[in-house]
Every structure is written in structure tokens, then in C-alpha cells.
Structure 1
Amino acid sequence: MPVPASFNAVLPGRDAHHYIGDVWYQRIVQVPRGWDGERIVLRLDAATHRAVVWVGDTQVTEHEGGYTPFEADVTEHVRAGEQMRVTVVVNTELHWHSIPPGFVQELEDGRLLQQYFHDFFNYAGLNRSVWLHATPRTHVSDVTVTTAEVDGQSSTIGYVVAVAGDDMHSVRIVVRDADGAAVARADGAEGTARIERVQLWRPGAGYLYTLEVTLLGAGGEVVDVYPQPFGVRTVAVDGHRFLINGEPFQFTGFGKHEDFPVHGRGFDLAVMVHDFQLMLWIGANSFRTSHYPYDEAFLDYADRHGVVVIDETAAVGLNLDTGAGVLNQAGPMDTYSDTTIDAPTQQTHRQAIRELIARDKNHPSVVIWSIANEPDTIPPAARAYFEPLVAETRRLDPTRPVAFANFMTATPERDVISDLFDVLLLNRYYGWYANTGDLITAERLLEAELRQWAQRGKPIVMTEYGADTQPGLHSMTNEPWSEEFQVELLAMYHRVFDRIDAVVGEQIWNFADFATRSGITRVDGNKKGVFTRDRRPKASAHALRRRWRGDA
């Protein structure tokens, strides 16, 4: 089985595609002889949705959550210059205490069905890379860099360095510019450094510095060196304005998916770069990692090219009233209860937030933490569930705004949690799921609701809006599913956005068509993309290019 790839996309046939349970991966690898005396680490960038890992016959780690990395120190279980056997058992199942949640339903004939409440296919396996690497025994284990202040032509950055191993050490840092020249120095594992004539990281201009951390032993010898790229920029919310470096920013872009034919959600550098180039072509300046953290290479690329990111946890489907529940045919259920979403689910969610921030905190492209997509935020129990998670997010990172993507039925008078957040992310489908085909009524209702939200005094980013569109289907009367209807629906939304100052962003659902479960509303997947699944433009792509870039 190739890694990275979704095994249930690679293997043909229904049995593999709908497989539920454990999938075993195993490989024999050679440990380099030059690693003798080093700390040897096995790292998995992700295993969807959970994994247990062995080296030889010894279990070395296990992990819950399918989209964030984990690792194990395997030094005591291997020998430099010899072979090692790595075994990973990946479990595909979603249950009530996983993020995202789901349940396995047993039919009368004994067959099992994986049920879940989100609208993308449950691709699983080792969707990202697995690494064997070495570090010194005493090593830099974590680095955090923050922009403390920007004052005219200079900036102060804060840094914290964590070290594992021998306590007899000291830390020295050097800040280097993009050409490698030293522009600031400091001593100590925690402190500040001042950069004169600073070049800011800006949307469209991803200037990066490097915090070069040198770990010195008791005798002054170099023990470890770790380079941490970072950008100097500030993010703030001021009333209806979203500010980057003190300047108002308007989001243009998409919700996306890590999804492509044959390898499913398996990471592919060529597809990633092609997608970024398509976003550049169309004039998008941002995207949301809907609905899970993407491979970190996405953020590295966004950092270097000045693309703005709303970074989201895998907390999608915390809503048993979205319409997705109709597909599981299990009957109505309360979202928050002792038998559905409960305290253990919240704990898994909390850990997902911690791991997201731990991985992505140094990426200047990330400007908002989105801790959930379309949860049920109408019942009072939603506030008890989310309030501690918001507090935890702010504790872990007080430098970025916190948000969640609000579901369509949670209107201003019904939603019970939006006051906890800094930015309003709204998913709305007037003209498609509601008032289907009637864009006149849809425009009136959309504007009325957005004006209600605007009274909250917070910036609004429309993080989902769109219409399923069959490529090549044309209509003189702009019928739903036609390319003409998608163009007209998006134009209607944009007219409304342009009339409301509080709307500071438009991220269309979706960048490209993607795979979902089959069903009467999903023929070969979700077709709301402005590009097809193999990245061919629909008519809407050209219309968006004209809006966002002002050219044909």
C-alpha cells in the first residue's frame, strides 16, 4: 500500500471502499549506521482516525485523532546500522467520543455501516508521511515565536524554547533575515529580540525570518541547532474590521478539502502546488482548512507565499440536525446527551485543539483558529460544551482570534454561543438548500440575516455559500445544477456582501468538487466546487476571477 494515501481510495471495489475496522501496515527499514548514539524517533504526520504503533514486538505509542502528528522515541528498541520492523494498525471507525463523531450501525443481516454527520467521505489510513529521524540526546523539543509589538520600522518578537535531555545547557538565539544575515541576537531559553528595519509578513508577500536556536553544552560546545521560520505580523479585531498589521483585510477564497481521485485524502505535493496556483490565478487570498488540519506543507507554502489561513480542527458533525442525519436512517437523536456528544467527546475535542495549536502556532499564515464546523449551537447544552473549549484555545494562544463556522439554522435569535467568539464565520445556503432556485427571495433573506448579525459588532466572514453544479450542464433559464445558476447565485451573494460593511470575507464552498457518501442528493460527490474534482474550471471560476482580480 502506498503511503501517503487513503487505502479505501486506492483499492478498487465496494469491500475496500466501505471497510470498517483495523488496517495493518508493516514495513522493514534500515536504521542508518551514522545514528549511533543519537536519539531515534518514529513520527507519523497523521493516522486516520487512530493508531497503535509497534517497533518489533514492542508497542511504542498510540494516538487518537486522524489529522495531527504524533511520535515515539524508539532509541531503546533499535540499533543503528540494523533493520527494524515498524507495524501500524490504523482504525477507521468513528464513534461518539471521536472527533469527528459517528457510530457503527449493525443491520438486521449482520452487516455494519459506518454512520457519521459530515458531508465528505470517510477516507482513512496513513494519509500522510511516516518518518524515521534522529536528534541529539539533548535537543530542542519545542519553539514558540510571537510578534510582541511592531513600532514604526522595528519589531519586538517573543520566543520560548523548550529543551529535553541534560539540564546542563544554555540557549543562544540568532534571528536571520531571508538572505541569512543576522539581524538580532539574544541569550536564554525565553526572552525577546528586536528587529530593526523589519519586513512584515503580509497577505500576498510572505516574508519570513528564521529564529536559529543553538543549544550549548556545559563546556560551550554546540549540542543542537534548530531553525524555526516565522513571520512578523499582527492580527486584531476592531469592531467590524479584521486587521492584519493594523490594516483592514478582506478574505477572498474557499473552503477546501484534501481530496483527489485515486489517493483520496492522501497528501500529494503536486496537487497541493497546483491548487495554490489555481487560487493565485482566480485571485483568492485565503482558505479555510475545512474540516480538519491539513498536512503542514500547506501552511509552509502559505507562509512563503502570503496566503491567509483559517485553521480548523476536525470537529465537524457535532450536529445531529444538519440533514446529514437523514442519511443514517437511525432516527432523531439529541446532539448533546449521555449517549451521543458528551464529556468524553469534549475531552477528545480539547486534545484536538491542543494538538492543532502546538503544531501550527508559528505559522504567520494562520490568522484565526476555527474550533468547529457547523456544530449544533441552539440547545443550552451547547454553551456548556463550548465555553471551556474557547477558554482553552485562548489560554494556549492569546494572539489569534477564535471562531467557529455557524450552521444555517442557528440564526442570531437562536444561537447560544456566538458571543464567546471574536469573528463570526457563517455558512449559509439561501437559494440552494433554502428557497431553492428563488434568488430574489434568497437575496432578501440573506441580507436581512446578515444585517442582524452585523448588530453584534463583530467582523463576518461568509465561510460557506454555493450551489451544486454539474459541469457542462447549461440552461437558458438558470435552472439549479446548471453552470449559469451557480454564477448567478454567487453574484447574488456578492451583491449582498458589498452592501454590508461588517462582511469582511467571502470563502465559497467549495474550491473543487469532492467525494462524499453516495445518496440521492450526492451523485458522484459534492458538486459545489468552482473547479471539478480533477481541477477543470466551471463558468463560475472565470466569473470569480473577474470579481477578485478585475480581469478576464
Structure 2
Amino acid sequence: MNFALRISIVFFAWGGGGVLGGGGILYPRESESREVVSLDGIWEFRADYNHAGFKKRWFMGPLSQSGHTEMMPVPSSWNDITQSKKLRDHVGWVWYSTTFFVPKRWKDKTRTWLRFGSANRWADVWINGHHLMNHSGGYLPFEGDAGQYLKFGDNNVVVVALNNTLTQATIPQGTLSYPNDTSRYPSGYTVQSYNFDYFNYAGLHRPVLLHTTPKIYLSDLSIITDFDGHEGRVYYTASVSFPTEWENYVNFAEHSQQTNCHVAVLDASGVTVASRHGCSGLLTIPNVKLWWPHLSQPKGEGSGYLYTFQTTILSNTTLEFDVYRLKFGVRTAKVDGSQFLVNGKPFYFRGFGRHEDYSIRGRGVDPVMLVKDHNLLLWTGANSYRTSHYPYAEEILDLTDALGIVIIDESPAIGLTGFGPDLKREHISVMADLVQRDKNRASVLMWSIGNEPKSLETLAPSDVIKSTRAFDPAKRPITIVLSQNFSKGDCPPSMDVVSINRYYGWYGDTGRTEVISLQIPTEVNLWAKTCHNKPVLITEYGAGTVAGVHQSPSFVWTEDFQVDYLRAHFAAFDHLRSSKAQFVGEMIWNFADFATPQETFRPWGCMKGVFTRERQPKAAAHFVRARYWALARQDNLTSSVQLPNDLHCFY
């Protein structure tokens, strides 16, 4: 790899809109030069049922000054917090506000940024009555330089107007209808429909942070890792930002040349194992410890090993400096023929589809639930999951990086239809922001550009895949998750892994598990042959189950049937594994039960989880656990995988 030894220079304005795309969106972390303050807590909240907020200028101060407000925790979804059915099902604008203090010491020597981990899905943000930024999309971070609008050494007010409406131009898509027969529908009756099966939770779902940087600061960092024997290789490029007006200085070129980077790699104990000067280049790590997926590590090594990449920016003319530390792992991930390789060794996905979905909290980040979920994942012996069907919180990826849980990082492009040039541009823009956020993640081994498009002809996935590949410095494998029946014309040539969702014995031939042993191998082999022997991954299969319901012989919706359904699939998967087919993994739908729109064919929500929504195991969870631990032992003969003492041998 050839890297020019140069500074990537970025100019930033003193104010304005959010930082998106190529501008960098590093997660705020405290250091010698940076401070971070959380604005999470209980905010004032009001639903704008009568579209009055903009007309009455609610953005000019705390919402409580303009009328009644509700208490709303941030982060959370607003839908399930109150006792109001009207608010739960509300489509349109809502408003948030909170008051916070800014230290006086931040005024002269720092840039002060306001950052939202996500806001679902259109957000306008004001600081002290001044419009700071807007953002569309519900799952990725955005931030703005708030310095010119802040009162330092005093209280400040942030107001957010948020709209959860989905249209044919948004990702994901939706439609709005307004029945106007007043003899049948009340005035203002609105129906929001969408072609996905999870509840469209909305709100400020992730942390809201106020953070500082020096005026000259590290704005972006790209890391690519490789290894040769016992030597690790870290290729890096750092971007340094300067105030916009400096571009016009006569001596700017000289000033920028006097800005230097010093980088170092620290091991897990904090010991420096490599260092050099320069804002781009190569670092080598002797006796490198590789990042391995959970239960895939060689004997004597651990999973999820992380180094720290420390970047120090120093201006010799202003004597300013900036320090930023980033966790990363040394590993490789690529497709070679019909195999998916991690660190040069075949990798088999044992995992789940999931949702960010929790009782009461909706999609809001909650450390308690994050830790519980990942403890359950480790308990099952899983090594991977897909972020179905949208990018998950950065706090979740911190855990997967550290635990060695492999991530298929998916965009919110689910069930797209009517795919014209405008929607394709939006799709590519979403992938640019997703890659920008997660490009340095050790656990992210593959991108998924979307789930279950209605038509590959209208999706034009090759264009999105090509753009995504260009965005990612590490060139990870790319997939798109397909649900349509097999057809020889349905294999995008630029797709690296064929990912398919199949529900034989559930949506078709319901209850007839005997068809699974024939239909799964037939389908996988057809896709592999048509797609030039590319790896094939089953990303969804599952059966709905009401916890506590039993019947013998097994019958659909019982725990007994879910176990029988999985048993039939496991036999089909074992046949594919033993026949040396291009089969690289199995992911159950779903990890846990989750909320759906109100429907007549589900008594509450999607019940395909092997855990309930409260994270209690169904019989299937024990069955899956026995299989996943057995697979871990089979697939990693060089490791001393010890089966848990409490493993129930259902399988």
C-alpha cells in the first residue's frame, strides 16, 4: 500500500450545519485536549399535533415557556414513555428542549460541538434561538460547531424539532395517506404505512454530547490493518482541521507545514509498541496480537484484542496541541473464492438477526440492556450478528469490538421499491455516512447495503456496492440480503457474499418441517452456482413462538415447534457443511421478540426470538446454545474451546 506522507487539511467554518460525509465524525472522547459533557437526562417534550411549533417559534427558548410539556428521557423513543395512545402512534413533529451550562474556560481556546448520536428521522436544532443545523436519517450521528451561539459561563438552551414521517423519498421508505371521508374518519386522520415489520420507533435514541476540540484538531482518522507472520501492519491517514479564515493568510502554507502529527500504538496494558512522526504512513507492531472473533482464536490467544491508536497534533507556531485515542484491532477480512476468511482462516457465521428494541425504552440506548444482550450472545456461543435493519449505536459497537463479536453492518435500506435516481443518491449518501462512522471498527467485517429489496432490477445494487467499496479504505466484503425466489438474473456481479432470508416450513408449507432438508440445500446450491461459487450465508430463518405454549406432537407457535423447526434446519446446514458447499453461516431470526405495528396476524409483535422481549430464554435458546458451542469446537480445532459446565445437551 502506498501512502503519501502528508497532512490531509480540512477547513471548518466557525458555525453552520452538521458535519456529514467526508468531514469526519470521530466519537467524542476525553483527553488532555478535549472535554466531553453529556446532555442526556430528562428533557422537556411536546408533540406538535396542531403544527403550531414553527409558527409560534417554540425554538426561541425552553418549551415550558410556551405551554405544557411532558417529561421525556433522552436517550429513548418517545412512543412508549407516556400513557397516551395518541402519542405512541403520532406521525409528524415533536419538540424537545433542555438547559445546560457551558464553562467560561471554553470560550477562547476551544471549538465547542453539539453532537447527536442519532435522531429519528428529520431533526432541526437551535441553540439559544439560533438555528444550528438540520439532519435527515434516523440512525447515524451528526454534529455542529455551536461556539458562536453559546453563552460561556452561563446557562444555554437547546431545542430540537423532530419528525418521524417516512415517504417514498426516505430510507427506509413509507407512505402517508389521509382518508377524507368525514363520515368514517375524524378530521386529521393520518395513516403511516411502511413495508417493514418492526415498529417505527422515533426520538432522540442515542447520547447527546457537548464536546470540545482545540482550534487545530484531528478531524478524521483512517486505519487499515494487516499482518505478516508475527508482524502487524497499521496503515493510517490523519486529517487535521484549521479555522476557515486561515485559508486566506499569506503565511498559511508555512503555518500548516509547522503542524505535525505524532502517532503511537499502545497495547492493552498501555505500553507503547510502535510510534512515528507523520500524518500518514505505516506502523509495524512486533509480536502482534491479532483480533479474533469469539471462540475462533488459536490456542493461547484471546478474542477481541484491542490496541489503542494515539494521535497527537502539535502546532509549532501557535503551540496548540490535540490528543485523540482510538481503539482498534489488527485483523484481515476478505472473500477468497467460496470462503470468507478472517486472518486468513475460514470463518463460519454462528449468529442472529437482531433489533435495537427494548421494553419501554423502544430503540433508546441503555447500558443495562446492551450488556445483558451481549452476555446472552456469549452464553449462546454465537460469534456474530447483523445490525438488522439499520446501523446500531456506537456504544453497541464498542462492546462488539471488545468481545470479538463479528458484525455485518447494515444500512436502513429495507424493502426499497421504485428505485429512481434520487433514491439511489440518498442510498449512496447513507452508505457514505455509515462507512465514515464505522470504517475503523474491528468487529465490522462486512457491509450490507440493504435488506429484502422488492426488485433487484430497480434497486441497481451494483452502483451502491461500487460506491460503498470506494468509500471504505479497508475494502471489506459487501453483501445485500435477498428474499426473492431464486432466479438466474438475481446475482449482482459486484456482491461478495450471497445473503438470503428463507422461511421454508413457516411462510410456505407451514408446519411441514420435512421439506426443509430438501429445500435449503437446493436453494443454497443454486445461488452458489449462479453466483460463480461465491459464499452463501443464510441471514434469516425462524418460526414464531409464544413463550410457555407447548403441544405434542409439535404445532406452529409452540416452543416445541420452534425446536423442531431449528432441528430440521441444523440437519440441512450440516449437510451443506459436510458437502463442502459454499455455505459460510447461519443466522437465526430473531435473537429476541420485538415490537411490530398493530397487526391482525400477530397477537402483539414478532415472536420469532429465541429469547422473549424481556430476555428470558425459550426452549429454543438452550437448543441453539448446544449447537453453537458444538460448532465452535468443531470449527476451531486449534483452540482449547471448553464447553460450559451448564450446557444442556439438547442438540
Give the conservation status (yes or no) of the 8 Å contact 1:463–1:506.
Answer: yes
Counterpart position of 1:317: 415
Match of 1:156 among 214, 230, 233: 233
Structure 2 residue aligned with 1:360, among 438, 442, 467?
438
**Consecutive unaligned residues in structure 1, runs of 5 or more:** 319-334
| Aligned-pair Cα RMSD in Å | 1.4
Write out per-residue CA displacement over residues 51-108 of structure 1, whole angstroms, 9 at most, x where no aligned residue: 0111112111111100000000011111321111101111110011111000111113
- Aligned residue for 1:534? 614
Residue 190 (1) aligns with residue 280 (2): yes
Match of 1:326 in 2: none
3-state SS of paired residue (1:458) = coil
Counterpart of 1:8?
79
Note if contact 2:264-2:272 (Cα within 8 Å) is conserved in structure 1: yes
Structure 1 position 435 matched with structure 2 position 509: yes
- Offset of 1:35 from its aligned partner? 1.4
Match of 2:492 among 398, 418, 432: 418
Query: Counterpart in 1 of 2:386?
Result: 288
| 1:31-180 → structure 2 map (5 Å cutoff) | 31-37=102-108, 38-108=110-180, 109=185, 110-147=188-225, 149-165=226-242, 167=256, 168-180=258-270
- Counterpart for residue 601 of structure 2: 521
| 1:393 alignment partner in structure 2 | 468
Q: CA deviation at 1:443?
A: 2.8
CA distance in 2, matches of 1:514, 1:134: 38
TM-score (norm 2): 0.79
Q: Tell me the alpha carbon deviations over residues 393-422 of structure 1, each in whole angstroms, 9 at most, x when there is no partner.
A: 000115200001111x2414352x433200
SS at match of 1:7: coil
State which of 546, 561, 568 in structure 2 corresponds to 1:470. Answer: 546
Q: Please give the per-residue CA displacement for 1:197-247, whole angstroms capped at 9, x wherever unaligned.
A: 111000121111111100011249451001111100001111221110001
Q: Which residue of 1 aligns with 2:458?
A: 381
CA distance in 1, matches of 2:134, 2:613: 34
Q: Which residue of 2 aligns with 1:449?
A: 523
Contact 2:214 2:320 in 1 (8 A): no
Does the Cα contact within 8 Å between 1:51 and 1:90 map onto a contact in 2? Answer: yes
Task: State the one-letter code of the partner of 1:154.
Answer: E
Shift of 1:527: 0.3
Q: Distance in 1 between matches of 2:336 and 2:174?
A: 38
Amino acid in structure 2 at the alignment position of 1:396: F
Greater displacement, 441-450 / 248-257? 441-450
Query: In the alignment, what sits opposite 1:300?
Result: 398
**Could you say which structure has the larger radius of gyration?**
2
User: CA contact under 8 A between 2:516 and 2:572: conserved in structure 1?
Assistant: no
Deviation for aligned residue 1:454: 2.3
What is the one-letter code of the residue matched to 2:86? Answer: D
Contact 2:462 2:493 in 1 (8 A): no
Secondary structure in structure 1 of the residue aligned to 2:369: helix
Q: CA deviation at 1:432?
A: 0.5
Partner of residue 324, structure 1: none
Alignment map for 1:498-517 (pairs within 5 Å): 498-500=574-576, 501-517=581-597
Structure 2 SS opposite 1:41: strand
**Matches of 1:255 and 1:441 in 2, distance apart?**
23
Match of 1:260 among 358, 364, 370: 358
Q: Which residue matches 1:321?
A: none
Separation in 2 of the partners of 1:275 and 1:65?
25
Unaligned runs of 5+ residues in structure 2 are 1-71, 244-255, 295-302, 631-646
Q: What residue is the counterpart of 2:427 in the other structure?
A: 349
Instruction: Give, in whole Å, the separation in 1 of the partners of 2:357 and 2:458.
Output: 34
Which amino acid letter does the alignment assign opposite residue 203 of structure 2? G
Q: Is residue 466–residue 494 contact of structure 2 (8 Å, CA) maintained in 1?
A: no
**Contact 1:435–1:442 at 8 Å: present in 2 too?**
no
- Counterpart of 1:247 in structure 2 is 345
Residues in 1 aligned to 2:276 and 2:537: alpha-carbon distance in whole angstroms:
39
Larger displacement relative to structure 2 (209-218 or 108-117): 108-117
Partner of 1:329: none
Distance in 1 between residues matched to 2:103 and 2:390, nearest whole Å: 34
In the TM superposition, residue 441 of structure 1 has moved relative to its aligned partner by: 2.2
Partner SS state of residue 165, structure 1: strand
Per the TM alignment, residue 119 of structure 1 is displaced from its structure 2 partner at its CA by 0.6
8 Å contact 1:5–1:264 — kept in the other structure? yes
Q: Detail structure 1 runs of 4+ shifted over 6 Å in the superposition.
A: none
For the Cα contact (< 8 Å) 2:420–2:458, is it kept in 1? no
**Could you say which residue in structure 1 is the equivalent of 2:555?**
479
Which residue identity does 1:278 align to in structure 2? L
- For 1:57, the aligned partner's letter is G
Are the counterparts in 2 of residues 260 and 533 from structure 1 also a CA contact under 8 Å?
A: yes
| In structure 1, C-alpha distance between the alignment counterparts of 2:280 and 2:385, rounded to whole Å | 33
For residue 330 of structure 2, what is the aligned residue in structure 1?
232
SS of the equivalent of 2:74 reads: coil
Shift of 1:446: 2.0
Q: What is the one-letter code of the residue matched to 1:267?
A: V
CA distance in 2 between counterparts of 1:223 and 1:252 reads 45
For the 8 Å contact 1:202–1:233, the answer to whether it is kept is yes
AA in 2 matched with 1:441: V
Task: Go from structure 1 to structure 2 and tell me whether the alpha carbon gap of 1:285 and 1:266 turns closer, same or farther (over 3 Å shift).
Answer: same
Amino acid at match of 2:277: D
Shift of 1:33: 2.4
Give the alignment partner of residue 403 of structure 1, picking from 479, 482, 503: 479
- How far the C-alpha of 1:158 sits from its partner, in A, is 0.5
Partner of 2:93: 22
Cα offset for 1:145?
0.7
d(CA) in 1 for partners of 2:568, 2:585: 15
Match of 2:627 in 1: 547
Could you tell me how far apart the structure 1 residues matched to 2:514 and 2:492 are?
A: 28
TM-score with structure 1 setting the length:
0.93
Is 1:495 the counterpart of 2:571? The answer is yes
Shift of 1:180: 1.1
Task: Kindly provide the amino acid, as one letter, of the partner of residue 225 in structure 1.
Answer: V
**Contact 2:168 2:174 (8 Å CA) reproduced:** yes
- Looking at structure 2, the residues matched to 302 and 533 of structure 1 have their Cα atoms a distance apart, in angstroms, of 21
Hey, what's the Cα distance between the residues in 1 that align with 2:156 and 2:208?
14
Inter-partner Cα distance in structure 2 for 1:523 and 1:105: 25
Partner of 2:370 in structure 1?
272
Q: Distance in 2 between matches of 1:544 and 1:220?
A: 60
Distance in structure 2 (CA, Å) of the matches to 1:222 and 1:183 = 26
8 Å CA contact 1:97, 1:342 repeated in 2: no
Q: What CA deviation, in whole Å up to 9, does each residue of 1:22-64 have, x standing for no partner?
A: 1100111111223122111000000001101111121111111
Amino acid at match of 1:46: S
Q: Distance in 1 between matches of 2:317 and 2:213?
A: 20
Secondary structure in structure 1 of the residue aligned to 2:234? strand
Equivalenced residue count is 526
Matching residue of 2:307: 209
Question: Among the aligned pairs, what percent are the same residue?
Answer: 41
Which secondary structure state, in structure 2, belongs to the residue aligned with residue 354 of structure 1? helix
SS at match of 1:418: coil
1:290-318 deviation digits (Å, cap 9, x = unpaired): 00111101111111111111110111121
For residues 414 and 117 of structure 1, the distance between their equivalents in structure 2, rounded to whole angstroms, comes to 24
Q: CA deviation at 1:424?
A: 1.0
